[in-house]
Amino acid sequence: MLTEKEITEVANKFIREIEEEAKMELLILQKHIIKKPYGIIYFYTSKKYYETKDDKYAVAGNAPFLVEKETGNIVEFGTGASEEYYILEYEAGRWPIK
């Protein structure tokens, strides 16, 4: 089982990988973090969008993701429904779709 610090390290590493691919600086939205007994759910956006709120800096496909406490696995949610939908689907064992 991972500590909160270890979970945060996994999340930061995941964001850095996305940054390299997208070639833009990203940041985790600290105010939107959701802590659950099974892990932590993170939301992120581009730093430029966060600072300016200018849509030209918005990130497409920046789905929230969960870092599982037991395994450190990352579970990416979608963007087509609310985060509540994906959380409920995960908790019911229906997400990710296998």
> Which sequence spans correspond to the domains of the chain?
4-91
* pTM across the whole model: 0.95
44 CB burial (10 A radius; 0-12, 13-18, 19+): buried
Render pLDDT for 13-64 as a digit per residue (tens, 0 to 9).
999 999 999 999 999 999 999 999 999 999 999 999 999 999 999 988 899 9
Q: Rounded to an integer, what distance in angstroms lies between the CA atom of residue 93 and that of residue 7?
A: 21
Q: In the chain, which ranges are E strands?
A: 26-28, 34-36, 39-42, 44-46, 65-68, 74-76
Q: What is the pLDDT of residue 60?
A: 87
pLDDT band at 65 (very low <50, low <70, confident <90, very high): very high
Q: What is the pLDDT of residue 97?
A: 87
Would you state the structure tokens that stand for residue 31, as one six-digit string? 């105010």
